[in-house]
Amino acid sequence: MRREAFAVPPGIYLDGNSLGLQPHAAHARVQQRLAEWGEQAALGWDDWFGLAERLSPAIARLVGAHPDEVIATGSITSNLHALVGTLYRPEGRRRHIVATALDFPTDLYALAAWAERGGGELRLIPSRDGHTLHDDDLQAAFTDEVALVLLPTVLYRSGQLLDVAGLTAAAQRAGALIGWDAAHTIGALPHAFHEHGADFAVWCHYKYVNAGPGAPGGLYLHRRHHHLTPALPGWWGNDKGSQFEMAPGYLKASGAAAYQMGTPPILSLAALEGALSVFEDLEMTAVRERSLQLTDLLIRLADEHLPELQLVTPREHARRGGHVSFAHPEAHALSLALRARQIVPDYREPDVLRLAPVALYTRPEELETLVQVLRGLLDSGGHLQHQRVAGAVT
């Protein structure tokens, strides 16, 4: 849809859900900010000062929120600490935190620390098949002992998409607060966090938003929580009008911007600024439609030509995110062999090959080539044997 907007490395890139390709606009913005630093030094802060806040309308559009409900800052991990530290209020029997056994580990590390502090447990919703979550198990976890729930919009390994609207309502009916880790959906499909009433969300911008390695993360906090004082305050979350009065008392900024802590990384924000501009005239429904066409094609080709691969991503559109995952005992060797042929997949322990055809830059023909190459690799088992040995050394 926008391939010409990206620097595309040689070969076939299917790892955009780990690190998105570099938009030319991101490169240009970083160059611009570097030049400003060179020419203006500290005077550059006149313009850089409100940069993160100026990106909020574009980010809000991607997550379905009001601009004052989002801010680019920190990382998923630090934002989770800041938001959970603020919102989690254990009381009486209601003191546990719920997440899932298939969550990205950093989320669990952060949640476990807060649950322990609050005298609660981190309760993990189990998976029946090791890849996906069953709706009954999700619903069953929302009891009157739960203070806070965090769920992934899409599971990072299998690519299962959860029902944000339905689960938000269910958790809140049970009296819990609910937040979402949207790392694998922002930039890939439409969101409506405010309309669905989600309490909070966190995400990164280095995957489908293409803002570069270690790009600043993002957070959303529903307006109903804006009266709270952040648990981890810092001077950059102070009210902008009085920040440089350097008063000893913290006067929080209004809205999500209060969850910034220290000085923002301007060069990284510049890359985000450029990356967001690629989405300016794109409807997220159209991005999602294209993404589904690509993942449909990949699943159909795999069904036809790669019966040995076990599809672990749900087939239904309503339960499928932006990537497709296959389990295979030789997944690691396959991923190394693909890389040796300039095809970049992603591998997740212990046996999952993750493939992300990205709506903005992947071409259908690339998926056809991928499937042909995989067929050839599976037919020549010896190649894989060799790759395993080579992979063990590197």
Ligand X SMILES: Cc1ncc(COP(=O)(O)O)c(C=O)c1O
Q: Provide φ and ψ at 181, rounded to 5°.
A: -95, 105
Shortest CB 243 distance to ligand X, Å: 25
Give backbone dihedrals phi and psi of 50, rounded to 5 degrees, phi first: -105, 20
| Options 29, 61, 157, 207, the catalytic residue | 207
Does the annotation list 66 as a binding residue? no
Is 181 noted as a catalytic residue in this protein? Answer: yes
107 annotated among ligand-binding-site residues? yes
Q: Is 220 a catalytic residue?
A: no
| Residue choice 106, 139, 143, 369 for contact with ligand X (CB under 6 A) | 106
Scan residues 182-201 and list those touching ligand X (CB under 6 A).
183-184
Q: Is 120 in the site for ligand X (CB under 6 A)?
A: no
CA 60 from chain centre, in angstroms, equals 15
CA angle 360, 363, 365 (to 5 degrees): 170
**Residue 154 pairs with which residues in a beta bridge?**
161
Q: What is the CA radius of gyration of the chain?
A: 22
- 181 a known binding residue? yes
Q: Does position 77 bind ligand X by CB under 6 A?
A: yes
- Closer residue to ligand X, CB minimum distance, 149 or 371: 149
Catalogue the long-range contacts made by 296-301 (C-beta closer than 8 Å, 24 or more residues apart).
297/357, 297/364, 297/367, 298/324, 298/355, 298/357, 298/367, 298/370, 298/371, 299/324, 301/367, 301/368, 301/371
Whether 68 is catalytic is: no
Q: Which of 115, 113, 125, 123 is nearest to 95 (CA)?
A: 115
Catalytic residue chosen out of the listed positions 181, 208, 220, 326: 181
Query: What's the min distance (Å) between Cβ of 77 and ligand X?
Result: 3
Residues 330-389 touching ligand X, rule: CB under 6 A, are: none
369 is in an annotated binding site: no
User: In the chain, at which residue ranges do the beta strands (DSSP E only) sit?
Assistant: 6-7, 12-13, 22-23, 70-72, 96-100, 122-125, 146-152, 177-181, 200-203, 218-221, 310-311, 324-327, 343-344, 346-348, 352-355
Distance CA 145, CA 141 (A): 9
Rule CB under 6 A: choose which of 68, 69, 181, 330 binds ligand X. Answer: 181
Return the range that interacts with ligand X (CB under 6 A); candidates 23-31, 103-111, 125-133, 240-248: 103-111
Q: Which of 37, 45, 104, 235 binds ligand X (CB under 6 A)?
A: 104
Given the complex with ligand X, which of 179 and 377 has the nearer CB atom? 179
CA–CA separation, 55 and 57 (whole Å): 6
The answer to the question of residue 179 lying near ligand X (CB under 6 A) is no
184 is in an annotated binding site: yes
**In the complex, minimum distance from the CB of residue 127 to ligand X, in angstroms, rounded to a whole number:** 15
Is 107 a binding residue for ligand X by CB under 6 A? The answer is yes
Distance CA 99, CA 134 (A): 14
Half-sphere exposure of 118 (CA within 13 A, CB side): 27
The answer to whether 343 is a known ligand-binding residue is: no
Residue type, 330: E
Q: Is 72 in the site for ligand X (CB under 6 A)?
A: no
* Residue 104 annotated in ligand binding: yes
Has 354 been annotated as catalytic? yes
204 binds ligand X (CB under 6 A): yes
The amino acid that residue 148 corresponds to is L
Check binding of 216 to ligand X (CB under 6 A): no
Q: Residues interacting with ligand X, by CB under 6 A?
A: 75-77, 104, 106-107, 152, 156, 181, 183-184, 204, 217
Catalytic residues: 104, 181, 206-207, 354
